[in-house]
Structure formats: C-alpha cells, structure tokens
C-alpha cells in the first residue's frame, strides 16, 4: 500500500503519577503508601494520586472528602509546583537532546517528533526506551511512552503499559489497533460522549468506522469529522515546539464556603491580580472572560462574556468578573472561584481540512 501523505515517528512521553511520584522520591517515608497531592479530606480536590491510592479508586479531580472515604489510610500532601517545574525542566532537557520538535502538554507529558533526530537513530521505539531509561537514571522517576505515526495514536498507546512501560503501534498495525480499541479509550472522547456513543451502538473503533461522515457530523457536530478521521488513522496535527495556550486562568479554593457575593469580591480581586501577573509575564491579552464557580455540592458553573477589545489589566478583568458574578443568583454556597481569559491575541486562524479517504500505510517504515 502507498501513503498519500508522509508518515511521522511520534513519541508521547507521560510521567507516571508525576506529582505523587516526586513527593515519594523526595520523602522516602511516603514510598509504597497511598498518597494524594492537593487539598485535604475536608477541602480541596485531588491533583494527583499515587498508584497505591489508585487501587482504592482515588483519582485526580476527586474531592478530598470522597478520596479519604475510599481510602481511609490516604496521606494528603500539599502540591509544590516549583519543585515539579524544576524536575519537568530537567526532563525536557533530555527530550531536547534527541529533537527540537518537543511539544509539552503539561509538566508531566509531551510529544516528540523523532522522524529526523539528533542521534541519527532510525528506531523511534529505541529512542523512547533510551529516554525513559535516562529519566529513571538522571531524575529518579519512571515514565511511560506511546510510539506511532501520529500524535493521536501515540497518546492512546502511552496508556497501554503504564506504569514504566511503552507500546509501539507500527504503521501496518494502525488500522487493526484502532478498530479493536474501546471507544472510551479514544483520546478526546470523554464520559458524556462515551455514553452518547454507547446509545448509538458505538462501542469500539470498528463500530465507529461503520458510521458515515454525515452521520457523525449530525450527532457530534464538528467533532464528527475528527472521529471520522482518527479511526482511519488520519490525524495531521504536527508537533508544535512553541505551543500557544488557548486560555490563561487563576482560581482559588476557599477554606470556608462563601454564601454571599459581597464576601466573594475581595477574593475575585486577588484572583484578578494573579491573572494579570500571568498575562503580563507571557505578554498575553484576551477578549473572552469566564467566571468559574464551584458550589459546595461540587456542581460547576461557568459564565462568560466576550468584549470587542483585548484586555490584560486587573481592573478591567475584575469589572467584567463582577458583572458575571451578579448576572444571576447563586445556586448554593461557593467553595471555589476562578477567572480565565480566552480568545487570546496569540491565536492564529488555522484552516483544518477534512480528509475523507481511507488511510493507507507504508509497510516498511522502521519503528
């Protein structure tokens, strides 16, 4: 078979339980124990959980209360983001010894394009193995990796042999791999979409592939084109070394629930000051302000407004946030407030072309 567009050698490296693993590395007394980074059993949300805690169902974004209920022996540790950034920088330094095409997704994961690499190594699988070994020896942490022809498949593959493992999906295995993949494991298909697909009789990639482009667009809008293409191995997004953020935000979880808008104004001002600092540090401005409200029952609400001009000043941000706060009555007492700015002056218009054809792959492509 011949391919109508060039194949890439993409690696997705994902650190294993990064925040929790850093805490266990820095404090040997925590090794082997169920650990949650973030909040506490009374307040806050779990930012990361050790594998020992995950066995009890503790996971990120879970309330501290529920996490402790699931795992009574759970130890809470406050996050140390400066330390995580320090280690993330070391890991990124290792990546850059192999390729300049590194796209960080967060502190603990990144895409690498090693189609052409600084080591002259034709095997992306061997490069991934070498990188993981170096991270273990030089940093002291384990990492997992996925290797394939594009970012989507590499991302999905990196979850397969966690922790401390890797999986390669070679070009001639791409289509069978995707057809046999459970729909809930498709990157970009969340819980709500998964349930909707189940209702439509879509449980695997093979089921998804049977649906026409028109059918998927009808049921999933613009995302329908994405689903139609990725299940055929088509994902043309390149590794972007200077990944531009789509939004910048700041938020605070309060030690006690707030029941009146008046009590929230001072907190909003502090959040606006922090947001302004982040915007100016990155020389960014935006037009769309979003107020995030998390209630005491953990229900989340967002309220947004788009201006005709870019802003980055705390007073303008706060003025709009106040307007959004008073836009409608609160549903309950509030445990968290956040402000984010989107529609940034860094965004560029990109034309995404939908490719409505079956992908074919080169069988001889060294991985």
Is residue 15 within 8 Å of residue 21, measured between CB atoms?
Answer: yes
> 109-113 and 102-106 as β-strands: parallel, antiparallel, unpaired?
antiparallel
Positions marked active-site = 109
φ, ψ for residue 97, nearest 5 deg:
-75, -15
- Check: CB of residue 98 under 8 Å from CB of residue 117: yes
Secondary structure (3-state) at 84: helix
- Residue whose entry in the numeric block shows the structure tokens 């960080």: 104
Please tell me the distance from the alpha carbon of residue 81 to that of residue 151, in angstroms, as a whole number: 27
Local structure of 281: helix, strand or coil:
helix
- Identify the burial level of 105 via C-beta atoms within 10 angstroms of its C-beta, where 0-12 means exposed, 13-18 middle and 19 or more buried: middle
Please report, for residues 47, 63, 233, the alpha-carbon distance to residue 20 in angstroms, rounded to integers and kept in the order given: 9, 16, 34
108 CB contacts (<8 Å, ≥6 apart)?
14, 15, 18, 19, 84, 88
Cite the DSSP H helix spans in the chain.
18-26, 51-54, 64-70, 81-96, 124-138, 151-157, 174-180, 191-199, 205-209, 213-220, 223-230, 261-281, 314-325
Q: Which residue has the tokens 């494991």?
A: 185
């Amino acid at each position: 078979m011949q391919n109508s567009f060039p194949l890439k050698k993409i690696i997705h490296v994902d650190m294993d339980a990064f925040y929790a693993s850093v805490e266990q590395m820095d404090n040997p007394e925590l090794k082997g124990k169920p650990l949650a980074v973030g909040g506490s059993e009374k307040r806050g949300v779990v930012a990361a959980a050790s594998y020992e805690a995950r066995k009890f169902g503790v996971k990120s974004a879970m309330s501290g209360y529920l996490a402790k209920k699931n795992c009574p022996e759970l130890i809470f540790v406050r996050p140390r983001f400066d330390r995580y950034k320090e280690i993330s920088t070391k890991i990124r330094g290792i990546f850059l010894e192999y390729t300049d095409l590194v796209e960080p997704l967060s502190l603990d994961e990144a895409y690498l394009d090693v189609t052409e690499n600084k080591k002259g190594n034709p095997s992306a699988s061997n490069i991934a193995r070498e990188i993981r070994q170096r991270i273990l020896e030089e940093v002291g942490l384990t990492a997992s990796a996925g290797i394939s022809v594009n970012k989507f498949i590499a991302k999905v593959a990196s979850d397969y042999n966690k922790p401390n493992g890797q999986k390669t999906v070679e070009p001639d295995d791409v289509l069978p791999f995707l057809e046999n993949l459970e729909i809930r494991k498709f990157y970009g298909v969340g819980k709500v979409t998964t349930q909707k697909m189940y209702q439509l009789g879509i449980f695997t990639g093979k089921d998804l592939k049977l649906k026409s482009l028109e059918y998927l667009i009808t049921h999933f809008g613009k995302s329908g084109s994405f689903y139609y293409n990725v299940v055929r191995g088509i994902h043309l997004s390149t590794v972007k070394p200077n990944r531009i953020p789509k939004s910048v935000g700041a938020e605070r979880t309060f030690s006690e629930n707030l029941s009146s808008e008046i009590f929230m104004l001072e907190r909003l001002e502090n959040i606006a000051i922090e947001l302004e600092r982040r915007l100016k540090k990155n020389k960014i401005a935006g037009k769309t302000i979003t107020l995030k409200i998390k209630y005491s029952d953990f229900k989340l609400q967002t309220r947004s407004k788009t201006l005709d001009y870019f802003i980055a000043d705390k007073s303008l941000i706060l003025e709009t946030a106040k307007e959004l706060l008073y836009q409608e009555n609160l549903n309950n007492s509030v445990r968290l407030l956040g402000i984010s700015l989107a529609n940034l002056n860094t965004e560029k218009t990109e034309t995404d072309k939908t490719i409505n054809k079956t992908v074919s792959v080169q069988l001889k492509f060294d991985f």
